[in-house]
Structure 1
Amino acid sequence: MKGNTMADSPIVHWFPGHMAKATRMITEYIKKVDVVIELLDARIPRSSANPVITELVGQKPHIVLLNKVDLADPKATKEWTEFFTKQGITVLAIDSKSGKGNKKLISTVERLSKPIIDRWVAKGIRSRSVRIIILGIPNVGKSTLINSLAGSAATRTANKAGHTRGQQWVKIGKNLELLDTPGVLWPKLEDQRAAARLAMTGAVSDDVYDLEHVMKQLLNHLLTNTPNILVERYKLKEEEMTDVDTILESIGRRRGCLVSGGVVDFDKARRIILQDYRNTKLGTITLDKVDEEPYYPENGEDTQNG
């Protein structure tokens, strides 16, 4: 992980070409399927969403899945579910690891695809399996969900004529086939708060972001929204809860993150807190709020606010 950087440097170091490449790939994938499933991290539904998916989906059935609900705040998940529903988007809250929500997902796909099958029948087209795609960023649980839906005896068909080499179809039901695709990362780099939250949840590789800035955002979020969690987890005193720098130093000392001379190893302390967050040692926390606006800091403006 990188050390200190200037405040006007990006939190996540990525390249614009990745977004363009992701868009091209998604466009090609969507052409091949009947139903599009968008898999989001329930902790960061906005930050983990591809801003161009709705546009590319067009008139095809579109399902949004809020995954990892076991790691998210239940109240916030309910608010996000209502948010998508109001936009006319079918949304389900699931946990791909435990399989929670799988049956409802299958029945929802079957319901949404019925008009498609009816059109085939009306036109005299020989019925085929309904083709589905699950789009999601890395580490959002796509592979876990696909394996869970397919079962241990996943039927992966051979490459089909007319399809890009290397793509495979997974049978997940009598009349359902899933296009197995790699996870595509599309961080909205203009919104550095979203980029930081992708880093917090592990969606971005740990060697491409600024650890100091990411942890300032996480600590600021905790201090602002759930200070009691910090106090309980790290046994902090009231006078140590004044700002994120004091909190970090206090946690570092309590957890023995010291080098010669009794100086705190701040990076080690940051990693301990980050792992505690990812492992829900800090509770179930949703970082994205429904009523929150994207954050685009000006050059030189500190991006620590969470």
Structure 2
Amino acid sequence: MLTHIPFPALPVPPSWFPGHMLQFQRTLPTLLNKTDVVLELRDARLPLTSINRNFEGVLQKWRRERGVIPSPSPSPGGSTAGPSSSSVCERVVVFSKRDLVPEWGVRPFQRAMEAKYPDQRTFFASWNHTRDIKALNQLLVNIAKQHPDRLELNVLVVGMPNVGKSTLLNALRNIGIAGPTPKALRTSAHPGMTRVLSTRLKLSVDPLVYAYDSPGVMLPFLGNGIRGAERGVKLALIAGIKEGLYETEALASYLLYRMNVLDPVAPAYLQLLPPGSQPLLDVHEFLALLAKRLCMLKRGGIPDTSRAAVWFIKWWREEGGLASASAPALPTSLATSGLESCRRGWGFDLEWDVATSEAGRYGEAAIQAKIEGCIDAFEAAALEDERDGSTISSTQEKKRMKEQQRTRQQARTRARLAARRG
């Protein structure tokens, strides 16, 4: 059992924010005017990192305008009443790839999210499981039935790149429409396939439910320091960032670290190594051993670690993630390890310490409390980044200063022209 897992060195995060993402982000407020339900997709392996905080302000404004949440500063004499009976304004956060995270953390995480964000519904699903798609389809149908005065329900699907938006809509359409339904949206394992808002897709006939697919929107700037670096590597591992912006060995190093945290006794990658192998901390040693095992050798019998890194990441995306999801809530050897505590993780975002003395009462309530602590730490870090300006790159700051300077110059010019006319 690994007792100390050092954090790897990570590269500076790249910037990847194509023009179609900016265009969609600007049109989102207008789109919400004709939207009843927002399905916000996130990756269950990155339940916090796959939050796009640029959506938050727009979605909160949408809910205030619909009367779902009160305005922070209502005008004198203004009404603070709730939404009218005909108003529909639902936000459902759907965590995709449920089968790639340990099942023991799903319910505690949902309860923690409900406690921290009571204005959001949460839903876990795997697109491979028909029952999950049926349950999500029924949720949308039930929302529509709660508003029989509405002729139709309009759903907008948003989220970061490659979280499965198009795949979900194809699956919902297949479940909700009787008879053969051809694939309506193109899908890809690479981010950025959807570049414009889709045409309306019918998801249900009675009641009528329509949906729009939208381009995946990345954060314009991933952040400074270790938090920004880690955010970028996580998104690259789930193929949420354009291929080629990261060296594969850097991704392999972080992946090795995370798999060790998920299961320090028997991490899933051991099945790739020779029988009897022990968990490894050094990525170069691991990749060399893996390259030999896969017969990936250069001239002279030198292990081709670069090829091995590419293979390792591909294996994790296709098979290893499922194997990692079988990690237990606690190592069975914790009580006899002689350690005071051990490090535990759920997905790639949530990580906490468990004291050996806690092992006997380590149930769902205890796990929920640990997860709530992780969410609190995440929110505190996000606020700190906003205060420090770490959410804006130096390039963005320069552009903003130039725009402000241009606006001031235009105001001075208008003032001079007005003075001359006067």
Please tell me the TM-score bracket, short chain as reference.
0.7 to 0.9
The structure 1 segments of at least 4 consecutive aligned residues displaced by more than 6 Å after TM superposition are: 16-19
Q: CA deviation at 1:62?
A: 0.5
1:70 maps to amino acid: D
Q: Which residue of 1 aligns with 2:249?
A: 212
Bigger drift between 206-215 and 86-95 goes to 206-215
Report the Cα offset of residue 129 of structure 1. Answer: 0.6
SS in structure 1 at match of 2:109: helix
In structure 2, give the amino acid aligned to 1:36.
V
> Does residue 139 in structure 1 map to residue 191 in structure 2?
no
Quote how far apart the aligned CAs of 1:250 are: 1.6
Aligned equivalent of 1:287: 348
CA displacement at 1:214 relative to structure 2? 1.6
Contact 2:25 2:217 survives alignment (8 Å):
no
Task: Go from structure 1 to structure 2 and tell me whether the alpha carbon gap of 1:235 and 1:27 turns closer, same or farther (over 3 Å shift).
Answer: farther
The structure whose RCO (Cα within 8 Å, separation 6+) is larger is: 1
Partners of 1:193 and 1:25 lie apart in 2 by: 30
2:214, 2:296 → 1: CA distance? Answer: 41
Q: CA deviation at 1:31?
A: 2.5
For residue 17 of structure 1, report the CA deviation from its aligned partner.
Answer: 6.9
SS of the residue corresponding to residue 168 of structure 1 reads: coil
- Cα distance between partner residues in 2 of 1:77 and 1:187: 30
Corresponding position of 1:185 = 218
> 2:32 — aligned with what?
30
Which among 175, 181, 184 is matched to residue 153 of structure 1? 181
Q: Which runs of 5+ in 1 are unaligned?
A: 1-6, 122-126, 157-164, 298-306
**Alignment check: 8 A CA contact 1:138 1:183 kept:** yes
Q: Secondary structure at the match of 1:52?
A: helix
For residues 122-154 of structure 1, give each alpha carbon's deviation from its aligned partner in whole angstroms, at most 9, with x where no partner exists. Answer: xxxxx3211111112332221121111112437
Write the distance in 2 (CA, Å) between the matches of 1:90 and 1:264: 49
Which structure has the bigger radius of gyration? 2
Q: Report the secondary structure of 1:139's partner residue.
A: coil
Equivalent position SS for 2:131: coil
Q: CA deviation at 1:178?
A: 0.7
Q: Could you tell me the TM-score, scaled by structure 2's length?
A: 0.58
- 1:108 aligned onto 2:136: no
Partner residue, 1:45: 47
Matching residue's letter, 2:173: A
Q: How many residues are paired up?
A: 275
One-letter identity of the residue aligned with 1:189? L
- Flag structure 2 segments of 5+ consecutive residues without an equivalent: 1-8, 64-88, 175-179, 185-195, 326-346, 351-370, 386-422
**1:77, distance to aligned residue in structure 2 (A):** 2.8
Please report how far the alpha carbon of residue 244 of structure 1 lies from its aligned counterpart in structure 2 after TM superposition. Answer: 2.4
Which region of structure 1 is more displaced relative to structure 2, 70-79 or 42-51?
A: 70-79
The structure with the largest helix share of the pair is: 2
Task: Say whether the 8 Å CA contact 1:130–1:176 is kept in structure 2.
Answer: yes
**3-state SS of the aligned residue for 1:100?**
helix
Distance in 2 of aligned mates of 1:216 and 1:21: 35
Q: Deviations over 1:252-279 (max 9, x none)?
A: 2222221112222221010111111111
Q: Kindly provide the CA deviation profile for residues 148-173 of structure 1, in whole angstroms up to 9, marking residues without a partner as x.
A: 111243798xxxxxxxx964111111
Write the distance in 2 (CA, Å) between the matches of 1:153 and 1:19: 29
Identical aligned residues as a percent: 23
Say which SS state the counterpart of residue 319 (structure 2) adopts.
coil
Partner Cα separation in structure 2 for residue 79 and residue 193 of structure 1: 25
